Amino acid sequence: MRAPLFAADFAARAATTLDPETAHRLTIRMLKTGIGPRACIREEGLAISVAGIDFPNPIGLAAGFDKDAEVPNAMLDLGFGFVEVGAVTPRPQFGNPRPRVFRLWKDDAVINRYGFNNDGLDAMARRLKRRRRKGVLGVNLGANKDSDDRVADYEAGVCRLAGLVDFYTVNISSPNTPGLRALQGKDALADLMKRVLAARDDAAAGTPVFLKIAPDLTDEDKADIADVAKELALDGLIVSNTTIARLETLRSARVKEAGGLSGRPLFAPSTELLREFYRAVGTETPLIGVGGVSSPRDAYEKILAGASLVQLYTAMVYEGPGLPARIVRALPALLKADGYDAVAEAVGAKHR
């Protein structure tokens, strides 16, 4: 029998007394046993079609929580409209030495330098083949740290997981794999995405490919990414990954730890970046907004700024697993207050 949401919230808060990575592994193990919350949500006006996929609601789980596709169905049961597993690399990878994740309690934030730790493509493929298909599932693809051809790593991910996922995300924006973000340069990015799209067409024709970008971009970087997205007709941009910047407002003791910062402090800069990309690509390239979402209003602001879909993860550390259900249940009232009958009508409304 599934635990009620309030019990799961209590258990999640109890887990915060543990080392962050230990708490995360214990949460995954609990969910694998079937002990976890289930939210039954049927709100009107939240279904949306993006890149040919019909999403029951626009709120998704960002990559990083379920790195090895161990509990995608359990996460869908929390009320998410879609789940993204990974990042996964072709070969298993331990990642960086522990400790490698740090809670910033005073800032509702997290710094991580995991370094794409995962069980590898073969292990993920085996799990997904055994999985009972339900909901919308995507996979975040990465490259091995010691790879001689990182583009080939992304091609391998597309081929190995063909038919097992509903969309692919090409992740070149993690700050924890040295040199990875260099792939965001225009020539390198165009070559990467052409090869990935060709692999998709051969192995899983019609499966959308999204590109996840960093928040730490120059104006030239932004223009280059927007140009490539339009020229190659990418299915979507995920804006954005964790940041290596450290805002002056941060107050927590571990703020100087190396790694990517996520959580509430990322909301404002990532939403501004989302607005910039909406102005650059318009409705040609769908946008997925991620960064600092911790409330229904946050999610709605991402939509108004141009996001067709919204993802979250870090906020669940502080708000508990009931957060996605609370957001989904509150969105219809926010839409109605602004005169919208469907979430698609509100996408990019602040630009009009």
CA distance 212 to 350: 23
Question: How far is Cα of residue 301 from the mean position of the Cα atoms in its chain?
Answer: 17
Question: How far is Cα of residue 24 from the mean position of the Cα atoms in its chain?
Answer: 17
346 contacts 303 by C-beta, under 8 angstroms: yes
Q: Up-side HSE of residue 172: CA atoms within 13 Å toward CB?
A: 25
18 contacts: CB under 8 Å, gap ≥ 6 = 26
Would you state the structure tokens that stand for residue 281, as one six-digit string? Answer: 């690509």
CA distance 64 to 80: 15
Indicate which residue of 49, 147, 173, 174 is catalytic: 174
CA distances (Å), 301 to each of 180, 210, 269, 272, 293, in order?
30, 21, 13, 11, 9
- For residue 127, give the 3-state DSSP assignment: helix
Specify whether 174 is catalytic: yes
| Burial class for 127, CB neighbours closer than 10 Å (0-12, 13-18, 19+) | middle
Secondary structure E strands in 105-197: 109-112, 137-141, 167-171
Would you state the structure tokens that stand for residue 30, as one six-digit string? Answer: 């609990």
Closest C-alpha among 79, 46, 41, 83 to residue 61: 83
Which are the catalytic amino acids? 174
